[in-house]
Amino acid sequence: MFLLGAGLVAAAGASAQEVSPRTYSNTPTGVNFLGVGYTYSEGDLEFDGALEVEAAEGSLHTGFARYVRAFDVFGRTAKLKVALPYVDGKWQGKVGGMGRRREVSGFGDLRVTGEWLFYGAEAQPLEAFERKEESTLAGASLTVIAPTGKYQDDLAINLGSNRWTLRPEIGIAHQRGPWTFELAGTVWLYGDNDDFVGGNRLEQDAFWAGYAATIYEFRPGIWVSAGVGYGKGARTAVNGVDRDTLQENWRFALIGSYAITKGQGISLVFTTGTNRGVGYEPTTITLGYQLAIPWP
């Protein structure tokens, strides 16, 4: 019972709510960014009320590598982002007073994102790049999450989702002097997992979400941000039978970025939040490093 319940939670709550400031900022074309980082995450797991699961919690250690390429599409700035995580996770809880535990490590699902700033961001190469003191940018993106992560069909808690996921997003950012204000809305669209816990079929409704963020830049490459996000949806069904797994959650984020040199920087991210209904309620800390490499 614990494994089935945890599977429903993992499916409904995995990374569905994100706050990502500076997504809608202009970047010189012809530049590559290589990044690595580490995230620690821990939090409570809330289960379907029909399951007798108590005191459930999880913790994750995640290392990740990321590649970003900025280029020109119809005279506007576009980016391609590729990210792959490696995760070491532990989950524990009580079923009928008996302790249960699950530990697993391996690669998570590959994520590929295409972004395009369709308004206010003329594509400029690095040697001619110039930022405006006041500007409004608007853009859209599509993220594809591929089922490449570690997955065992006899266990319900897994690092991979064993399904495809699409996440279209649209957003706008307005810069005035050192301040930038950003709004974005997104929807997570989940494919079916036809091999959920021994051949069952797991389906999931869309998860609708959005965030708002305020950024203050001290000088190029050195900035701080505070943001808030809200999301609702992602009810699951197993073999066509709806489960009581609707999510409604808030996320809060504090982010700082510091340029070590003109082409290198580090970032520190803290996120926390609340969740109503089934799902994972994590607090996370992420430390990242990024290197910019001009490449025609």
Domain ranges for the chain, please list them: 2-294
Range in 55-59, 119-123, 125-129, 290-294 the model is least confident about? 55-59
More confident residue, 154 or 15: 154
- Phi and psi at residue 5, to the nearest 5°: -60, -45
Write the secondary structure of 183-245 as one string of H (helix), E (strand) and C (coil).
Answer: EEEEEEEECCEEEECCCEEEEECCEEEEEEEEEEEEECCEEEEEEEEEEEECCEEECCEECCC
Decide if 155 contacts 193 (C-beta within 8 A).
no
Q: What are the pLDDT digits (tens) for 214-223?
A: 999 999 889 9
> What proportion of the chain, given as a percentage, has pLDDT over 70?
89
The stretch 124-142 carries a mean pLDDT of 88
pLDDT of 75 strictly over 80: yes
Task: Kindly report the pTM of this predicted structure.
Answer: 0.90
Higher local confidence (pLDDT), 255 or 56: 255
> Which of 81-85, 123-127, 224-228, 263-267 is the least confident region?
123-127
Closest CA to 256 of 244, 245, 271, 246: 271
What pLDDT does 52 receive?
A: 57
The closest of 202, 214, 253, 263 to 230, measured between CA atoms, is: 253
Provide, rounded to the nearest whole percent, the portion of the chain with pLDDT above 90: 66
Q: How confident is the model at residue 4 (pLDDT cuts 50, 70, 90)?
A: very low
pLDDT, tens digit, 9 for 90 and up, residues 152-211: 888 767 899 999 999 999 999 999 999 999 999 999 999 999 998 878 899 999 999 999
Report H helices in the chain: 2-13
Query: Residue 9: is its pLDDT beyond 60?
Result: no
User: Confidence class of residue 17 from pLDDT cuts 50, 70 and 90?
Assistant: low
For the cut 50, the answer to whether the pLDDT of residue 2 exceeds it is no
Sign of the C-alpha dihedral computed for residues 289, 291, 210 and 183 taken in this order = positive
Cβ burial of 231 (10 Å; 0-12, 13-18, 19+) is: buried
Residue 95's pLDDT band (boundaries 50, 70, 90)?
A: low
The model's confidence at residue 139, banded by pLDDT at 50, 70 and 90, is very high
Task: Specify the pLDDT at position 133.
Answer: 72
**Cα(142)–Cα(189) distance, integer angstroms:** 11
Q: Which residues of 77-90 are buried (b: 16+ CB within 10 A; e: fewer)?
A: bbbebebbbbbebe
Superfamily grouping for domain 2-294: monomeric porin ompg (2.40.160.40)
Q: Which residue has the higher pLDDT, 154 or 76?
A: 76
Task: Say if residue 5's pLDDT is above 70.
Answer: no
Q: Would you place residue 3 in the very low, low, confident or very high pLDDT band (cuts 50, 70, 90)?
A: very low
Q: Is the pLDDT of residue 51 over 60?
A: no
